Amino acid sequence: MKFFVDTANLQEIQEAHDLGVLDGVTTNPSLMAKEGIFGHDNVMAHYKQICEIVDGDISAEVIATDFEGMVREGELLAELHPNIVVKVPMTREGVKAIRHFSERGIKTNCTLVFSAGQAILAAKAGATYVSPFVGRLDDVSTDGLQLIEQIVHIYGNYGYQTQVLAASVRHVMHLVQCAELGADVVTCPLSVITGLLNHPLTDIGLQKFLADHAKGNK
C-alpha cells in the first residue's frame, strides 16, 4: 500500500518524507487556502515546492467545472512536473476530461467518488487513481469501508488498472482496514501515519529494556 499525505503544508510534507514511508501527496483548493495560498501563480509555485520535496505522485486539483476549463487547467498543471497528477471531480464534464487526459498520457485522480458506479465510470475513462471518500460517507451513516471493498472487488473482476486511493481517511483504524480490503493507496493527515507508530506495549517494553540496561551499567 502506498502512503500519501493529504496536506499542502510543506513542513508536514517534509516530516512525512523524512520518516521514509511517503509515496506521494494529495492536495485540494481547501488545503491550499488553509495554508494561505491564493492566486494562480502562488498556487503553481507551491506545487513546484512540493515536487522538490517528494519523489512521487502529487495530486493537483482543477478549479474549473466545464470540460474546456478542466483541460486548460489540467494541461498547465501537468507541465509543471512529471509527477503531477491532475485531480478531476466525478462529474459528467470531469469524466470527459479524464478521458482526454488519459489519451494524452496525463495522469489523473478522479475525486469526490461516493459510489461503486462512479468508480466504474472513472476506470472506464482511464483514471490513474479513483478517490472514494471513506470518512465523508461515514459522516452520513454510510459504510465508507464497504465502498472500498466493492471497488477493489469490481476492479479485480475486470482487470482495471485504475488504483483505488482511499481518501478522507481520519484515523489509524481507517488506514489499517483499507489495507485489509486491498486499497492501493491511502491518503490522510500526517497524524494518522505517525499514529501507526504508537502502542503502549512498545513504550513499556522500551522503558524496561532501558531500565535493565541502566542497572547493568551501574
Of 151, 183, 150, nearest to 169 by C-alpha is 183
Measured CA distances, 43 to 39, 48, 106, 162, 168 (Å): 6, 9, 20, 27, 22
Task: Give the span between the Cα atoms of 216 and 176, in whole angstroms.
Answer: 39
Q: Is 124 a catalytic residue?
A: no
Of 164, 187, 163, nearest to 174 by C-alpha is 187
Cell of 122: 472513472
DSSP state of 131: E
Which residue among 34, 48, 87, 107 is the active-site one?
87
Residues with catalytic roles: 87
